[in-house]
């Protein structure tokens, strides 16, 4: 009779256990690679969104102009600027002459930045027509928080400080700089964007340019 030897039960069990460990390890590695890829893609997308948003806001604020309009009191002018911790409205020379939109035609436009239910929104209109209809568009739909500060500079000492609002009744000039802090929510995660600080070339109590002629 020939000597026939097969696998024992213990050997079969050990082989299956080793195979299960190998398969589990492979799946764990694949799962980690997939998570790393997703995180990398999300990080890249978030970085790109922040860069685009920062570029747009910097462009708009860099053209901020200290335009003044007649005030309620005779002989008194009011700066066309509103600055709160969650809202910023100003006149800017940063216009897109190729857009064809009405607010961009005169070379100056009124811009209002605020956080709404649909995200960070920018409203634009002709700067000299307060009753004109606002053209609204969303700058960043993932924005969930907005905090704005304004740099005030003492005209005598040159010292600066950040304030949470800008009162044009006492400060008839633009702030030296504007700081914007924004938080985004992406895939259930909060992303705190580094503060965007934009220097306003026409800001400060000194060297304010002569206002543009008022349109009739």
Q: Quick: pLDDT tens for 67-90.
A: 887 666 666 778 889 999 999 999
The dihedral built from the CA positions of residue 20, 22, 26 and 31, taken in this order, carries a sign that is: positive
d(CA 101, CA 40) in angstroms, rounded, equals 37
pLDDT on residue 42? 64
d(CA 195, CA 131) in angstroms, rounded, equals 33
Contacts of 113 (CB under 8 A, 6+ apart): 57, 60, 87, 88, 89, 120, 121, 122, 139, 146, 148
Task: List pLDDT tens digits, range 133-155.
Answer: 778 889 899 999 999 999 998 77
* Annotated domain spans of the chain: 55-199
Task: List pLDDT tens digits, range 6-44.
Answer: 567 777 778 888 888 888 888 888 787 777 666 666 677
Task: List pLDDT tens digits, range 119-135.
Answer: 999 998 887 776 777 78
């Amino acid at each position: 009779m020939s000597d026939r030897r097969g696998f024992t039960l213990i050997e079969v069990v050990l082989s299956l256990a080793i195979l299960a460990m190998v398969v589990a390890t492979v799946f764990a590695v694949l799962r980690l690679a997939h998570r790393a890829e997703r995180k990398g893609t999300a990080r890249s997308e978030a970085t790109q969104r922040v860069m685009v948003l920062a570029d747009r806001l910097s462009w708009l604020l860099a053209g901020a102009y200290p335009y003044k309009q007649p005030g309620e009191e005779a002989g008194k002018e009011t700066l066309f600027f509103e600055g709160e911790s969650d809202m910023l409205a100003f006149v800017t020379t940063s216009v897109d002459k190729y857009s064809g939109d009405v607010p961009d035609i005169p070379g100056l436009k009124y811009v209002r930045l605020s956080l709404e239910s649909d995200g960070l929104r920018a409203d634009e209109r002709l700067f000299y027509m307060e009753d004109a209809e606002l053209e609204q568009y969303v700058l960043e739909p993932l924005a969930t928080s907005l905090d704005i500060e304004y740099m005030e500079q003492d005209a005598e000492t040159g010292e600066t400080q950040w304030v949470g609002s800008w009162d044009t009744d006492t400060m008839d000039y633009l702030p030296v700089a504007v700081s914007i802090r924004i938080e985004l929510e992406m895939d259930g995660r909060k992303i705190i964007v580094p503060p965007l600080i934009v220097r306003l070339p026409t800001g400060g109590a000194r060297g304010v340019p002569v206002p543009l002629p008022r349109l009739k």
